[in-house]
Structure 1
Amino acid sequence: MRKTEPSLFSRLVIRVTMVLAAGAAILVTAAWIYAKAAADEAYDRLLQGAATQILESLAVVDGDIEVNLPPSAFELLGLASRDKVFYRVVKPEGETVTGYEDLGREADVRAPRAEPTFRTTKYRGQQVRLVVASRAVADPRVGGWIHVIIAQTTEARQSLTAELTTRALLLVVLMSVLALGGTVLAVRYSLRPLDMLGDTLRRRDSQDLTPLDIAVPRELSPFVDSINHFMRRLDERLRVLQRFIADSAHQIRTPLTALSAQVSLIDEGSLSEDDRRHLSRVKSRTNELARFTTQLLNHAMVIHRFDSVQLSPVDLTDIARKAFHAAVPITIDPDTVVSFEAADEDLLVMGDGLSLREAIVNIIDNSLRHGTLQMLEVRVLRRGDFARLEVMDDGPGIAPGDWAKVTGRFVSSKSGEGSSGLGFAIAAEVATALGGTLSFIEKTPTNNFAVILELPLIKDESR
């Protein structure tokens, strides 16, 4: 049983899908990193702006720091409705002017800062983004740096990051689907030469062993070269087989013919009764051997021709008539009634004339040798969409229980009567090769045994 591997198409599509999936995962990860950075930068600027406005609103009055929180400082932060905002204003000595005293305790509020600093931390059990901005106070009564600390929860940042990532994900998925669809079409188109090569081989006649002449991609050239090399070797083998069959037929038939001729030259008049009886047996065995050898060679010829000869339309009536003349000997008993009835029309079937003629000859010969007593009738007629050959005789026929096995090679219903068991085998193989059947009828309306060969008519003719 041939082991089946996944198709090249499925392999390529699966591998491209894996590459696209990996690329999509990388792109989505990069999009998430970019979205997070973009969200942090946007909200960090809002935090920095709020801290700057608060610093600018600070004033020193009578040696003390006054804070007038501008509403605009928190309006922009308030756009993130789900986020909480915490703030704290710290004097140079670290005392809290206003706001949450525990905010930013880990920050060094005594060190001067020219630029604001940001960091993500935890405050009151929530993750917050914190900014520390500073401003120098020139008043000698309050010398030093004033610090503003503002913290905001990160829900809006995370929401913005998720939204940007989702949009990027949709875009990546869409592009991946389009890329996969384009890849499927490209792979299918790229593999078309394989389908064309397969179609060329399937449509080629079984007897055509000439090299393939088809344009294929460079990658398929070694494959086509191997096929052509194999067909050249097969053609050489078939030619050797043809020569062997021809030489065998000549080399075997020639000595058998010579032996038969030598035996026929023996003067039976000078022999005793026992010697004449022995000579008769020798002649019988010689004729049997010649006939058996001929059938073996014809059987090999039939098998070979169906493997090497192209079928063509032939007229079954014409083939049957030629087979009838070849099978019925001139020396047949004059008391035997032999007849041939042709069809009223041409019955064209697809076949090989020589093989079909040999099959009919074997059917008629088998009837003459083992069935016919005083009558042999051969008829060709049409039955529906089939051409039908009927060979009838008035002999005992073949028992219905033996019908299934007499079409096998070297199987005969007349054991010990000079039967080789190849006649019906040849006829059955020819019928099967041509899409027909070989069957038997135990008793016809005229109480005769019949062998039936049916072959399908060419469709145009059947209409």
Structure 2
Amino acid sequence: MSKVNTQSLRRQLIVRMLWMLLPLFILLWIIAYFSSLYFINETFDRSLVRRTYALADRVEVLRGKVFVDIPVSARAMLAFDQEDLLFHRVVDPQGRVIEGEADMPPLHGKSGIKPGQLLVYDGIKDGENVRIAAFALPLRGTSASGTVLVQVGETLSRRRAMADRATLAIVIPMLLMTLAAAAAIAYGVGRGLAPLSRLRDRLSARKALDLTPVPLEGAPAELRPFLDEINSLLQRLAEAVEAQSRFVANAAHQLRTPIAGIRAQAEAALATARPDDAQHALVRIAKSTQTMGNLVQKLLILARVDAAENTLCLQRLDGVELVREIAREWAPLALVKGVEIGFEARGDDAAMMGDSQLLQEMLTNLIDNAQRYGGTQIMLTVQATEQGSDWRVADNGPGIPESQHFAVFVPFYRLSGDVDGAGLGLTIVQRIAQLHGAVVSLEAGIGGVGLAVRVHFPLPAT
């Protein structure tokens, strides 16, 4: 036996909710990191700017010559940091480096720096990313002219380390909250699915033939449509079981009569000593067995028609050709009984969707009823219409009173005086018609007398 792959609804809901939280958690992590980095950069940039101004304050001019007077302690502060590498440079108006590093990242994409302007920009020095503050110190009011470019830079190790620590300080509580939310989701989903567990327990406790509706009290609104469909299915199933029970009871009742007759005639034949009486009993037995055989055959056909509802496979058929073939098969048998069978096709196209075996069974029942209860003529007609196609089986017999047109479709219903029929012919016809979406109606037969059974089939889907 192959293993059925079943998935827990509770597990699916929890996993999907967690998968929805995962990208949100990653997004919040990214936002936290870049937000922390932004504010840390702002703080460190202000510190870098202060150092740049402090270095600019040490620039002096003597007899038109620019120089930088940096005490030893201040020089150590400009060159030392616990985590980052600090560097600086001072360039005189002639472009000569008078203090600090000779190699300093240039102002990328900058057309120049105006006197008194301060710029903070990114660069690369010795293969590392650095942040640099540049200030153009004007020499107005001194014995020199032009501007002195003062630059102070640092590496970004400390900034990144602080951003990482700040991000972890935010993300770790977020992770704990996410785990707590996952636990709450798992608990909430379990509580939310509790009505399904109770419904399962109610259904598993039922007996096999308990088809009463499932109670809706206490059921969540989301389950109401589902339970309504279950109750609708249970109602249809209850109706089908009741109809099947009535059918079985009626079938048993119908079979009981011929079986009792056969038994009584057999006992009479065994008890009598006269050959004529025994012969008469055997004739009655043969007639009863024929009646019972006909009834069993009809019951089997009706059971096969009912079973075909779930396996019906409709194919495109030519209605004219199908009815013509049935007429040809029945014509010789009918002539032996003195009944004439005719066929007429009206219209060129009588295409339809159907099951050929079931449709043949339907025509067989109609023709059998017509020759059994009809007169001397049977006419089979196929007519194409704008709404579909009509099949008509008419006879010139005594017909059926209009007051009984509805009752004759009820299983085991017989007209007065009918002792040989099973009462299932028109029931089978109606069941087959319903399987094909067709409608059965009764009307006057040949020449306004007798009975005509009309079956209207819808147009086939294009």
Q: Classify 1:222/1:110 alpha carbon distance in 2 versus 1 (closer, same or farther; 3 Å).
A: closer
Cα displacement (A) at 1:238:
2.0
Q: Give 2:65's aligned residue.
A: 64
Q: Give the 3 Å change call, closer, same or farther, for CA 165–130 of structure 1 in structure 2.
A: same
Cα distance in 1, alignment partners of residues 270 and 41 from structure 2: 126
Give the 5 Å matches for 1:17-96: 17-69=18-70, 80-96=81-97
Number of residue equivalences = 283
**Identity percentage of aligned residues:** 26
Check whether the contact 2:78–2:87 (CA below 8 A) recurs between aligned residues.
Answer: no
Structure 1 252/137 Cα, relative in aligned 2: closer, same or farther at 3 Å?
same
CA distance in 2, matches of 1:224, 1:93: 91
**1-side partners of 2:155 and 2:251: how far apart?**
102
Q: Is the 8 A contact 2:80 2:86 kept in 1?
A: no
Structure 2 residues without counterparts, runs of 5 or longer: 289-462
Give me the whole-angstrom Cα distance separating, in 1, the residues matched to 2:192 and 2:73.
64
Matching residue of 2:186: 184
SS at match of 2:143: helix
Describe the SS at the equivalent of 1:120.
Answer: strand
Partner of 1:120: 122
**In the alignment, structure 1 residue 245 sits paired with structure 2 residue 248:** yes
* Cα contact 1:116–1:134 (8 A) shared by 2: yes
Query: Cα offset for 1:150?
Result: 1.0
Residue 10 of structure 1 pairs with residue 38 of structure 2? no
Seen in structure 2, the aligned counterparts of structure 1 residues 181 and 79 have a Cα distance that, compared at 3 Å, is farther
Q: Deviations over 1:7-41 (max 9, x none)?
A: 32222222212211111111112222222222322
Is it true that 1:226 corresponds to 2:226 in the alignment? no
Structure 2 counterparts to residues 302-321 of structure 1, below 5 A: none
Structure 1 match to 2:321: none
Corresponding residue for 1:166? 168
Q: CA 1:161–1:77 in structure 2 vs 1: closer, same or farther (change >3 Å)?
A: farther
Q: 1:4 to 1:74 in 2, by over 3 A?
A: farther
Give the CA deviation at 1:78: 7.1
Q: 1:151 to 1:268 in 2, by over 3 A?
A: closer
Measured after TM superposition, the shift of residue 51 of structure 1 is: 0.9
1:69 positional shift: 2.4
- Counterpart of 1:86, as a letter, is F
Deviations 1:249-304 (A, max 9, x none): 333334433443444445857448xx99xx99x99xx9xxxxxxxxxxxxxxxxxx
Q: In 2, Cα distance between the equivalents of 1:201 and 1:209?
A: 10
Change (3 A) 1:87 1:78: closer
Q: CA deviation at 1:104?
A: 4.4
CA distance in 2, matches of 1:234, 1:33: 64
For 1:397-440, what per-residue CA distance to the aligned partner results, in whole angstroms no more than 9, with x for missing partners?
xxxxxxxxxxxxxxxxxxxxxxxxxxxxxxxxxxxxxxxxxxxx
User: Is the 1:80–1:156 Cα contact (8 Å) retained in structure 2?
Assistant: no
Structure 1 gaps, min length 5: 287-463
Describe the SS at the equivalent of 1:83.
coil
- Of 143, 146, 149, the residue aligned with 2:145 is 143
Matches within 5 A, 1:235-274: 235-265=238-268, 268=271, 270-271=273-274
Partners in 1 of 2:21 and 2:36 — Cα distance? 22
- Is this contact kept in 2: 1:92–1:110, CA < 8 A? no
Mark the CA change 1:7 to 1:188 in structure 2 (over 3 Å): closer, same or farther.
same
Offset, 1:234: 1.7
- The 1:266–1:127 alpha-carbon spacing in structure 2 relative to 1, beyond 3 Å, is closer
For residues 225-252 of structure 1, what are the alpha-carbon distances to aligned partners after superposition, in whole Å with 9 as ceiling and x for unaligned? 2211121122122222322333333333
Distance 1:267 1:176 in 2: 92
Question: Distance in 2 between the 1:238 and 1:126 partners?
Answer: 84
**Contact kept? 1:133, 1:147, Cα under 8 Å:** yes
Query: Relative to 1, partners in 2 of residues 1:82 and 1:74: Cα closer, same or farther, differing over 3 Å?
Result: farther
Question: 2:55·2:150 contact (CA, 8 Å) conserved in 1?
Answer: yes
Displacement of 1:48 after TM fit?
A: 0.7
TM-score, scaled relative to structure 1 = 0.53
Are the aligned partners of 1:35 and 1:164 in contact in 2 as well (CA < 8 Å)?
yes
Separation in 2, partners of 1:41, 1:79:
21
Match of 1:18, as an amino acid? W
Equivalent position amino acid for 1:60 in 2: V
Scaled by the length of structure 2, the TM-score of the pair is 0.53
Partners in 2 of 1:198 and 1:192 — Cα distance?
10
Distance in 1 (alpha carbons) for counterparts of 2:111 and 2:241: 101
Q: CA–CA distance in 1 between the matches of 2:55 and 2:14?
A: 60
1:209 aligns with 2:211: yes
101-110 vs 231-240, greater mean Cα deviation: 101-110
Aligned mates of 1:268, 1:91 — CA distance in 2: 147
The change in CA–CA distance for 1:48 and 1:58 in structure 2 (over 3 A counts) is same
Checking the alignment, whether the CA contact within 8 Å between 1:57 and 1:67 is kept in structure 2 is yes
Q: Deviations over 1:164-218 (max 9, x none)?
A: 2333332332222222222222222222222222222112232321111223223
What secondary structure, in the 3-state scheme, does the structure 2 residue paired with 1:150 have?
strand
Q: Which amino acid aligns with 2:202?
A: T
Alignment CA distance shift 1:209-1:139 (3 Å): same
Equivalent residues of 2:106, 2:123 under 8 A apart: no
| CA 1:245–1:208: 2 relative to 1, 3 Å | same
8 Å CA contact 1:49–1:73 kept in 2: the answer is no
Alpha-carbon distance, 1:122 to partner: 1.8
Distance 1:158 1:121 in 2: 16
Over 3 Å counting, the alpha-carbon distance change for 1:110 and 1:241 in structure 2 is closer
